[in-house]
A and B are shown apart, each in its own frame.
Chain A
Amino acid sequence: MKERILLCGNEAIGEGAIQAGCQFYAGYPITPQNELTAYMARRMNEEGRVFIQSESEISAINMVFGASLAGARAMTSSSSPGISLKQEGISYLVGCELPAVIINIMRGGPGLGNIAPSQADYFQATKGGGHGDYHTIVLAPSSVEEAFSLTFLAFDLADLYRNPVIILGDGVLGQMMEPVSQIQNSRPKVKNYSKDWILNGCRGRNPRIIRSLLLGEGELEKHNQRLQKKFKEIKEKEVRFEALYLEDADFILVSYGTVSRICKAVVSNLRSLGKKIGLIRPVSLWPFPEEIIKKTAKRLKGILVVEMSAGQMLEDVKISVEGACPVYFYGRMGGGVPTEEEIFKQVIAL
């Protein structure tokens, strides 16, 4: 019999991290991700691993920096305002090429905003976020099951590319409960990456330095060129998406995370009415699934992008479409969640 456990998204992320061998977690309380910190407090302790409730999000990301350079799989989590505070640390992690997993369970902004679900941190997550020319890998789960599996994957990608990976969810995903079967049944195998760059004392080798300060003539440009080469490789290899009915669709919805769940219901409704509608759900927001959107757009009457923001992923969709078909947008902001009916009406009106 297939065993299934009922978990909320925040807990599933925590369990994904535990099973991926996360050895270090530091975090600071913020709604709507508190279940994750509480889950880690209990589970990390049970597993004999390190849990620290830090004095701030800034400290948490810098503790992760330390744990990562010492060779550990390390994670921190927060929600939008807290993620803004972590941006300096994320930039340093990228500059020093240190792996880390960072969870953002987004809430309404700007400023203190509210604690309702939002997707308004898309730009921050996918375009760099902190100072300097860089990207983090960004994965966007749309179910509790996927919150588990993508968190597990995030640790592998972080180690493989020596780059931070962000799990971008929202308040709905963090809070909602769904059965997860993978935890008990098809437990994925933890990969071991040889880390010949960590600082653990120079016994039997030359001392190592971890830094992002490069003052020599042309040194920093060379470092940046190397980073860009790595980002190019990630773009080629790590695009992930889900597609529905692209074979015959003449109109598609593009959405991610929680919103894609609502859009799927709309697609299935419209399909039952005989409409040739499809859907693309980016799973990796960076790298963005440009190719599939570009290829599909050429034979479409139009695309509707739906987000819980003023239209952020919309820009990446437009870049991908290159004017091949009209791109429309429907969004809700400040914690508003679009209903199935709202999206249905939007599609019918087009």
Chain B
Amino acid sequence: MEKTFSRPKSMRNVVMHYCAGCGHGIVHRLICEVIDEFKIREKTIAIAPVGCAVLAYDYWDFDTTESAHGRAPAVATGIKRILPDRIIFTYQGDGDLAAIGTAEIIHTANRGENITVIFVNNAVYGMTGGQMAPTTILGQKTETTPWGREPKSDGYPLKISEMLSLLPGVVYIERTAVNNAKNVLLTKRAIKKAFLNQIENKGFSLVEVLSSCPTYWHMSPVEAMKWIDTEMTKYYPLGVIKNNC
């Protein structure tokens, strides 16, 4: 009988620490599948963020570094400029990329660094216990917006992918989700394209993945998947935001 589904070679055979229904595990796996398919495991260097995914190196079986909170794109710039023939990607959450690391992501994109950015947006700070993220949607309750995000005091959810798409250095940005089988496949396709762009030296690519955090959304995993469809995608529509290649 043919084996049709197994663990990617780039993924370690260990149990993940992520909560039930968390999207990180799926995104980690999709990256590993793409790396295997391109056969680039031995030339890939990943930059893990500060946040829930800081331990990504426990799951990925290729060279990985940590970076200070939000600074992953600057670290990626340093690595890529020294090793231009290696494949460099950052894996960043919404707090990391769209709050504390705003300057780094904008300027790395604007320099058109030939790297790949996987941006996991779950609209909340997970590791620190469910505080408001820059991408928390209006009315969403968090530890620091106990009555829901209110624009007058908390500002508006940041559409950083749309902002980045204005920069001439950016070649490709797509927003996807990992809340159902179809979206998972579309996410993989987008990640694959974002890596291919780098392999072909096309420039800066970013995939924003809408992901679930049932723990700090205070929902069951099933409710969380639905919430992505009914609430998150209203503010963060799925699809290609920029494709210049």
Contacts and interface: CB of A to CB of B under 8 A. Distances in A.
Contacts of A185: none
Interface in A287-303: none
Report, as a range, how many residues of chain A touch the other chain: 35 or more
Contact of A59 (B60, B62, B71, B86): B71
B68 A201 contact: no
Contact of B43 (A64, A201, A208): A201
B227 interface: no
Interface stretch (A68-76, A227-235, A237-245): A68-76
B63 A89 contact: no
B103 A55 contact: yes
Interface string A203-246: 11001111111000000000000000000000000000000000
A203 B65 contact: no
A345 to B, nearest CB: 48
Given A59-B104, A62-B67, A199-B65, A70 B74 contact: no
A58 interface: yes
A164 B85 CA distance: 27
A338 interface: no
B229 interface: no
A50 B82 contact: yes
B78 A66 contact: yes
Interface string B103-121: 1101100010000000000
B65 A52 contact: no
Given A71-B82, A199-B45, A200-B45, A63 B74 contact: yes
A33 interface: no
A69 B65 contact: yes
Interface string B47-84: 10000001101001111111110010011111111110
A320 interface: no
Interface string B198-236: 000000000000000000000000000000000000000
Contacts of B77: 52, 59, 63, 66
B61 A207 contact: yes
A54 B74 contact: yes
A66 B75 contact: yes
A207 B62 contact: yes
A199 B66 CA distance: 12
A70 B79 contact: yes
B81 to A, nearest CB: 5
Contacts of B74: 54, 58-60, 62-63, 65-66
A118 B75 CA distance: 31
B126 to A, nearest CB: 16
A319 to B, nearest CB: 32
A88 B68 CA distance: 8
Contacts of B68: 62, 65, 88-89, 92
A302 B65 CA distance: 52
A69 B79 CA distance: 7
B41 interface: yes
B86 to A, nearest CB: 5
B162 interface: no
Nearest to B110: A55
B204 to A, nearest CB: 15
Contact of B66 (A204, A208, A210): A210
Interface string B36-50: 000001111101000
A86 B67 CA distance: 14
Given A62-B71, A213-B54, A202 B62 contact: yes
Contacts of A68: 78
Given A200-B83, A201-B44, A211-B66, A58 B71 contact: yes
Max chain A Cβ within 10 angstroms of own Cβ: one of B54, B62, B63? B63
Given A59-B74, A65-B75, A66-B76, A212 B104 contact: no
Contacts of B80: 66
Contacts of A122: none
Max chain B Cβ within 10 angstroms of own Cβ: one of A24, A26, A54, A212? A54
Nearest to B64: A209
B28 to A, nearest CB: 14
A56 B102 CA distance: 12
Contacts of A204: 42
Interface in B78-103: 78-83, 86, 103
Contacts of B103: 55-56, 58-59
Nearest to A203: B42
A58 B101 CA distance: 10
B42 to A, nearest CB: 4
A26 to B, nearest CB: 7
Interface in A31-68: 50, 52, 54-56, 58-60, 62-68
Contacts of A325: none
A154 B14 CA distance: 42
Given A62-B67, A213-B55, 5 more contacts: A67-B78, A67-B79, A200-B45, A209-B64, A211-B57
22 contacts: A52-B77, A54-B107, A55-B103, A55-B106, A58-B103, A59-B103, A59-B107, A62-B78, A62-B104, A65-B67, A65-B75, A66-B80, A68-B78, A74-B78, A96-B66, A200-B45, A200-B86, A203-B42, A207-B60, A211-B65, A211-B66, A213-B66
Top 5 A-B pairs ranked by shortest CB distance? A66-B78, A62-B74, A67-B78, A66-B75, A55-B107
Interface of B: 41-45, 47, 54-55, 57, 60-68, 71, 74-83, 86, 103-104, 106-107, 111
